[in-house]
């Protein structure tokens, strides 16, 4: 009987070992908040670390709240990378509650001057625009901050991280130049978006963002705001209303119909669809799609 019990226990242990996802304890465990932080971090660390994103790709990041399991994930992490400027409204409260006092915290936008916004939504971002990464130049600075933070605690892989940073720096610089060359040919500067996520992009390249409503994509404009936008569209000869790729385009379509203009999508990269991930899309490919959409709307 005792022999049977031992066999059963050994079998259960073997089954448990096969069904439980194991992490490589020899690798740096990095937790990121949103998709851009994940993409930038993975491009730096390659296979030298394991990267886990807290906010699921299917979730709208502005209103997301961490669960008990998310807290456990942070307790086990070596590094936490987040954007800052109010994007992760929960971050201070959560980090203060952790017992993991060895956790290295990287606020990637800390050195970037925040833009003030006149927002109309009810999400708690203060008066700062958190969408820093939508500017390629800002994204480069954030990636540098991530790389430098990781290098400080993983010196043995310093050369590997530095080499990856050098490569991605060139990629960002090329993307920036593409934006400058293309936008210099635009005949129009104003573009209308449902989600005010492109302020840093507009600021860096001399464009003018006109937001239908706020910095949170789930907020809704009132009839007065819609009427104002329609008037602006007509006054400036705007041809396109841009909506966010993963958000209901109903408001954009309503305004476009009333103003007799087109609709198209811009992706602020706060998240990425599962289809885009499957197709190996990343920050650079999506930003080039955004540039193509802007050129179509503003070039002529």
pLDDT, residue 25, reads 67
Write down the pLDDT at residue 143.
Answer: 98
Residues 163 and 210 in one domain: no
17 in any annotated domain? no
Same domain, yes or no: 170 and 35: yes
Number of domains in the chain: 2
Place of tokens 């050369």: 159
Of 149, 178, 207, the residue at which a domain comes to its end is: 178
Classify residue 238: in a domain, yes or no.
yes
Last residue of a domain, one of 161, 178, 195: 178
Distance of CA 120 to the CA centre of its chain: 21
Tell me the CA distances in angstroms from 38 to 63, 213, 283, one per residue in order. Answer: 19, 27, 10
Mean pLDDT, consecutive 10-residue stretches, the chain (300 aa), reads 41 39 74 98 98 90 92 98 96 97 97 82 64 98 98 97 98 98 96 94 97 71 90 94 87 94 96 89 98 94
130 and 241, same structural domain?
Answer: no
Q: Are residues 191 and 139 in the same domain?
A: no
Range of the domain at 56: 26-107+114-178
Burial (CB < 10 A; 0-12, 13-18, 19+), residue 38, is buried
The confidence score (pLDDT) of residue 220 equals 74
Q: What is the pTM of this model?
A: 0.88
Give the pLDDT of residue 4.
41
45 with 155, same domain: the answer is: yes
Residue 37 sits in the same domain as residue 172: yes
Give domain status of residue 7, yes or no.
no
Cα gap 55→139, rounded to integer Å = 19
């Amino acid at each position: 009987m005792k022999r049977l019990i031992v066999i059963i226990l050994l079998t259960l242990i073997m089954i448990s070992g096969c069904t439980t996802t194991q992490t490589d304890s020899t690798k740096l465990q990095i937790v990121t908040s949103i998709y851009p932080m994940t993409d930038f971090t993975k491009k730096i660390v390659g296979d030298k670390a394991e990267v886990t994103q807290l906010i699921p790709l299917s979730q709208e990041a502005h209103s997301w709240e961490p669960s008990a399991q998310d807290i456990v994930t942070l307790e086990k992490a070596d590094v936490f990378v987040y954007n800052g400027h109010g994007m992760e409204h929960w971050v201070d409260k959560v980090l203060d509650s952790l017992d993991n006092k060895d956790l290295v915290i990287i606020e990637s936008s800390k050195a970037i001057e925040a833009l003030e916004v006149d927002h109309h939504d009810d999400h708690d971002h203060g008066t700062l625009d958190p969408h820093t990464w939508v500017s390629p130049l800002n994204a480069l600075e954030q990636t540098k901050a991530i790389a430098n933070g990781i290098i400080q605690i993983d010196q043995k892989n310093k050369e590997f991280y530095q080499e990856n940073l050098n490569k991605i720096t060139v990629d960002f610089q090329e993307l920036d130049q593409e934006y400058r060359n293309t936008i210099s040919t635009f005949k129009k500067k104003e573009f209308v978006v449902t989600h005010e996520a492109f302020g840093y992009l507009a600021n860096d390249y001399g464009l003018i963002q006109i937001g239908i409503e706020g910095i949170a994509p789930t907020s809704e404009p009132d009839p007065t705001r819609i009427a104002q936008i329609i008037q602006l569209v007509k006054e400036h000869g705007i041809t396109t209303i841009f909506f966010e790729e993963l958000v209901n385009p109903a408001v954009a379509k309503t305004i476009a119909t009333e103003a007799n203009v087109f609709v198209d999508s811009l992706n602020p990269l706060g998240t990425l669809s599962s289809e885009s991930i499957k197709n190996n899309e990343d920050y650079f490919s999506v930003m080039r799609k955004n540039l193509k959409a802007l050129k179509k709307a503003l070039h002529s």
